Copies of this chain bind each other. A is one copy, B any other.
Amino acid sequence: MAYRETEKMRQRKAEARKRIVDCTYQCVAEGGFRSARVTRIAGLAGVATGTIYRHFESREDLFAEIFRLATQREVDKVAEALASDGNAAERLERALRQFAERALKGPQMAWSLIAEPVDPKVEEERLAYRKAYANLFEKAIREGIEEGCIPDQDARQSSTCLVGAIAESLVGPLSPTQTSQATSTTEDNNDPLVNSIICFCMQGLTGTRR
């Protein structure tokens, strides 16, 4: 035997892979999945086109990984908000606000994750992550029902409705055709769009306005 993969090599490969991932992320954040060309990604990452395929089965697989990374970040933020203190209704409200505000702050990526037409493998990820959000919400709703701050209801169904209501409300404002980077300094609970989404959602959950 003459060549055996060594730690140094493993690391070098990992670095190349990370560069590819980062550059793809950047491309998607700039123009969405559809316009992210493999050749451009390779160029940015400083590798040859073929090298991409030493790290990923296909463009679709690469995209699926980017999708996972980007969405997991958001899911974690939502989970974090749901794990904070206060009663379940308050925590849910905080989580919903978190979600909406973060999306409005990074509109192109948010649009790609929520609404951009994507290939089947990526769409699969999207479905899975929507379910992930719904699961988090569902758990919180269950807790709320137990605590008594949320009336008894089909927690699974309500959570799905929450996901749909936020997503739909954001699609318009995020749509690349009409996004003017109107992100004001730091949103402190006073974006009227976010407020009225939350208002509907909380009433749907609790039956109590505002």
Chain A residues within 8 Å of B, Cβ to Cβ: 117-119, 123, 127, 130, 151, 153-154, 157-158, 160-169, 171-172, 175, 193, 196-197, 199-201, 203-205, 207-209
Nearest CB in chain B: distance from A131 CB, A: 8
The reply to whether B163 and A168 contact each other, CB–CB distance below 8 Å, is yes
Q: How many copies does the complex hold?
A: 2
Nearest CB in chain B: distance from A93 CB, A: 14
> Given contacts A117-B123, A157-B169, A157-B200, could you give 9 more A-B pairs where the C-beta distance is less than 8 Å?
A117-B117, A117-B119, A130-B171, A161-B204, A164-B169, A164-B171, A203-B203, A204-B204, A207-B209
Q: A151's closest neighbor in chain B, by CB?
A: B209
The reply to whether B201 and A161 contact each other, CB–CB distance below 8 Å, is yes
Residues of chain B within 8 A of A157, CB atoms compared: 169, 193, 196-197, 199-200
Main secondary structure on A side of the interface with B: helix
Residues of chain B within 8 A of A164, CB atoms compared: 164-169, 171
Residues of chain B within 8 A of A123, CB atoms compared: 117
- Complex CA gap A103/B54 in Å reads 44
Nearest CB in chain B: distance from A76 CB, A: 21
Nearest CB in chain B: distance from A124 CB, A: 9
Nearest CB in chain B: distance from A195 CB, A: 9
Report, nearest first, the 7 A-B pairs whose CB atoms are least far apart. Answer: A164-B168, A204-B204, A161-B165, A117-B117, A157-B196, A164-B164, A154-B196
Nearest CB in chain B: distance from A110 CB, A: 15
- Complex CA gap A210/B205 in Å reads 12
